[in-house]
Amino acid sequence: MKKLASYIFTKADVQSQFSSEVQYNNWIAGLLRAKRIMKVRKKLYVLLDVTGEPLVTKFEIASKITDDAFLCYHSALEYYGVANQVFHTLMVGSKSRFNSFTFLDIDYIRQKPNNSYGINYINQARVRVTSLERTVIDCIDDIDSSGGIDELLYALEIIPNLNEKELLGALSAYNSIFLYQKVGYILKHYQTKFGLSEDFFLECKSHLTKQVKYFLKNDYKEIVYDSYWQLMAPKDLLSQIRGGY
């Protein structure tokens, strides 16, 4: 076995150790025949244990798909251990294009990044993932990609803390009026839990215009006008996860 820095590698990671393309191809073919590695996708391989299982997690695989690949939306919630459900889909942010693919019954789906704020590399885990604060903002921006409003609210129930400066940083990176509205409306329900200051909500409020938006009108039976956030929104946002509609 050639020297490898990780249990997952690309052709580019090891090619310098070979004198020719033929030598590299023969090495890969031999490892595949011996069932010591498995091909994830073109030019990406994982080492296997004695049972034939990959020696890396699905999160490590996602982070290795491209040089800038990172976990986002519900997949980031899952990585942090705050998702209510485990999906067979991983959402992978990447500026570099790649075709979505399936490996060991997991679908790896590319998401075009909205911005580059709050993307962290966890060195020990060899995983690139949006920060918890960026993840929350992303999921409020695209609730479908968070797994739905119930999944998002369950995550907020579990998340132990959030840094409001980081939340505002992620909001600023988006610079979306509607997102400021939605974030202010949702997180107001968790102000005490996360210790969010009134200044945080005043900052969200300061970006609003006079335009009224509809929010979650198809997910709840009772929609009312919230004059503070200028939203037509659920009368009781938390009703679906705390019993009743």
Q: Which of 187, 186, 181, 183 is nearest to 212 (CA)?
A: 181
Q: What contacts 58, CB < 8 A, 6 or more positions away? A: 90, 104, 106
HSE at residue 66, side-chain half, CA atoms within 13 A, is 18
Exposed, middle or buried: residue 97 (CB in 10 Å: 0-12, 13-18, 19+)?
exposed
Q: Could you tell me the residue ranges of all domains in the chain? A: 8-47, 67-195
- 9: tokens are 């590698």
Q: What contacts 16, CB < 8 A, 6 or more positions away? A: none
Paired with 89 in beta bridges are 107
Spell 140-164 as b/e; 16+ CB within 10 A means b.
bbebebbbbbebbbbbbeebeebeb
The pLDDT profile of the chain, 245 residues, written as one tens digit per residue, is: 667 768 999 999 998 899 999 999 999 999 999 999 999 999 999 999 999 999 999 999 999 999 999 999 999 999 999 999 999 999 999 999 999 999 999 999 999 999 999 999 999 999 999 999 999 999 999 999 999 999 999 999 999 999 999 999 999 999 999 999 999 999 999 999 999 999 999 999 999 998 999 999 999 999 999 999 999 999 999 998 876 44
pLDDT, position 243: 65
